[in-house]
Amino acid sequence: MTATTGIVAAIHRRNRTLARLLLSPTATLAVVVLTVLVGAALLAPWIARTNPYDLASLDLLDSHLPPAFAKGGDPRYWLGTDSQGADVLSLILYGLRSSLAVGVLAVCISITVGTTAGLVAGYLGGMVDSVIMRIADVQFTFPAMLLALLIGGLGTALLPSALRSTLAVPILVLALGFSHWPHFARLVRGAVLVERQKDYVAAAKLVGRGPLFIMATQILPNVLNPIFVLATLDIAFAIMSEATLSFLGFGMPPTQPSLGTLIKTGYAYLFSGEWWVVIFPGAALVVLLVSINLLGDWLRDLLDPRLG
C-alpha cells in the first residue's frame, strides 16, 4: 500500500519535474545540447570519420589542413586537420569522451569520500566530527585547482617511469576527485545534522538499528537532493580542472587526448595561423561546461533553493 502510493507520488513528481523542465527554455536547451554531446562522445568510435588513436590511418599529406569551409580546406575534413593529419572533428569526439569520463569518475570519487565523511561526521559527532571537519577545513584553505595540480603533478613525477604511462590517468582522476571531497563533506554533514533530529531516525534507533544501517539506509536517501545538485555542478568543475591540468601538461597524456590536451597541442601551432586546432576543441569544451552549469543552476533552483 505505502509502496504503491510512493510510486504514484514519484511518477507525479517526475512529471512535474518534466513539466518544469519544458517550461524553462534555457534548461531544455542545456539538456538537449548535453544529450547531443554525451551521445556523440559515447558513439565516437562509430560516428567519427577516422580513429585518431590509430596512427596507421593518419596521412601526413593531409596535415595542417584548414576547415572545409575555409580557403584551401578539404571537404573530407569539416573542421580541418592537425599537424599529424588527424581529423579535428574526430579528435574532438574522442576528446569529449576522455574529458567526460575523467570528469564523471573524479566526481564519483569526491561523492564517495565526501558523503561518507560527511555522514560519519554529522551522525557520530564529537571527536570524529572535529577531526574530519578540521581536515576538510585545512584542505579548504587551498584552491582545489592548485591542489589537484600539485597531487597530479607530483604523483606522476614521483612514479618510476615504467609505471608512468599506465598510472597517469588513474592518478589524474584521484587528484581531481580528492581535491573536491570537502565540498560534499560539508554539504552532507550540514544536512545530516538536520535529519538526525527527526523522528524517523529516533524510531530506527528504538527498533535497535545500528548507526551504520541508519546512516546508509535511513539518512542517506533523505540527503540525496543536495548531493545530486552539487554533483552536477561539480562535474563542470572537474571537467574544467582536468582541461586546465591537461593544458598545463599534467593531465591526460597526448596518447589519450582530452579536450584540454588538444588545446595544449594546438596552442603550439596558433602562431602559425592554425586557429582551428585550438578554437574548435575550445568551443566544444565551453559548450559542454555552459550546458552542465545551466542544468546545474536549474536543478538547484528546483531541488534545493537553499544552496543558492
Partner 1 sequence: MIPFLVNRAAHAVLVLVAVSLLAFVLGDVVGDPVASILGMDATDADRAALRVRLHLDQPFVVRYGHFVVRILSGDLGTSYGAQRPVIDLLAERIPATVELALVALALSLGVGIPLGVWAAARRGDRLVGALMTLSVLGVSLPTFLTGIVLILVFSIGLGWLPSFGRGEVVRIGGWTTGFLTESGLRSLVMPAVSLAIGQIALVARLSRAEMLGVLRTDYIRFARARGLPDPVVNFSHALRNTLIPIITVSGIQLGYLVAFAVVVEQVFQWPGMGLLFLQALAQTDLPLISAFLLVAAFFFVAINLVVDLLYAVADPRLRIKTLAGAR
Compare residues 231 and 278 and give the one whose CB is closer to partner 1: 278
Number of helices followed by number of strands (H, E) in the chain:
12, 0
By CB under 8 A, how many residues form the interface with partner 1? 41
Query: Which of 106, 188, 285, 299 forms a contact with partner 1 (CB under 8 A)?
Result: 285
- Least gap, CB of 76 to partner 1 (angstroms): 25
Is 289 a residue that touches partner 1 (CB under 8 A)? yes
- For 100, residues 6+ apart whose C-beta sits below 8 A from its C-beta are 37, 38, 41, 239, 288
Query: Which of 94, 123, 181, 247 forms a contact with partner 1 (CB under 8 A)?
Result: 247
Is 126 a residue that touches partner 1 (CB under 8 A)? no
Is 273 a residue that touches partner 1 (CB under 8 A)? yes
Grid coordinates in use for 193? 545534522
- Cα 297 to Cα 290: distance, rounded to the nearest angstrom: 10
Contact 177, 109 (CB under 8 A): yes
Compare residues 58 and 299 and give the one whose CB is closer to partner 1: 299
- Least gap, CB of 228 to partner 1 (angstroms): 19
Q: Which parts of 132-151 interact with partner 1 (CB under 8 A)?
A: 134, 137-138, 141-143, 145-146, 149-150
Contact 186, 136 (CB under 8 A): yes
Is 100 a residue that touches partner 1 (CB under 8 A)? no
- Cα 300 to Cα 5: distance, rounded to the nearest angstrom: 26
Query: Which of 236, 252, 262, 299 forms a contact with partner 1 (CB under 8 A)?
Result: 236
Q: Which parts of 5-34 interact with partner 1 (CB under 8 A)?
A: 26
Chain Cα centroid distance, residue 153: 19
Range 273-277 contact pairs with CB under 8 angstroms and sequence separation of 24 or more: 274/64, 274/66, 274/80, 274/83, 276/66, 276/67, 276/70, 276/79, 276/80, 276/88, 277/80, 277/82, 277/83, 277/88
Beta bridge partners of 87: 81
Beta bridge partners of 81: 87
Compare residues 42 and 307 and give the one whose CB is closer to partner 1: 307
Query: Which of 279, 302, 303, 307 forms a contact with partner 1 (CB under 8 A)?
Result: 279
Q: How far are the Cα atoms of 24, 26, 67, 81, 276 from residue 70, in angstroms, in the given order? A: 37, 32, 5, 12, 10
Query: Which of 56, 157, 206, 207 forms a contact with partner 1 (CB under 8 A)?
Result: 157
Is 263 a residue that touches partner 1 (CB under 8 A)? yes
Q: Which parts of 176-205 interact with partner 1 (CB under 8 A)?
A: none
Which H or E run includes 191? helix 161-195
Compare residues 22 and 248 and give the one whose CB is closer to partner 1: 248
- Rg (Cα) of the chain, in Å, rounded? 23
Compare residues 53 and 125 and give the one whose CB is closer to partner 1: 125
- Least gap, CB of 272 to partner 1 (angstroms): 10
Query: Which of 106, 297, 299, 300 forms a contact with partner 1 (CB under 8 A)?
Result: 297
Q: Please give the residue ranges that form the binding site for partner 1 (CB under 8 A).
A: 26, 134, 137-138, 141-143, 145-146, 149-150, 153-154, 157-158, 236, 240, 243-244, 247-250, 260, 263, 267, 270-271, 273, 275, 278-279, 282, 285-286, 289-290, 293-294, 297, 308
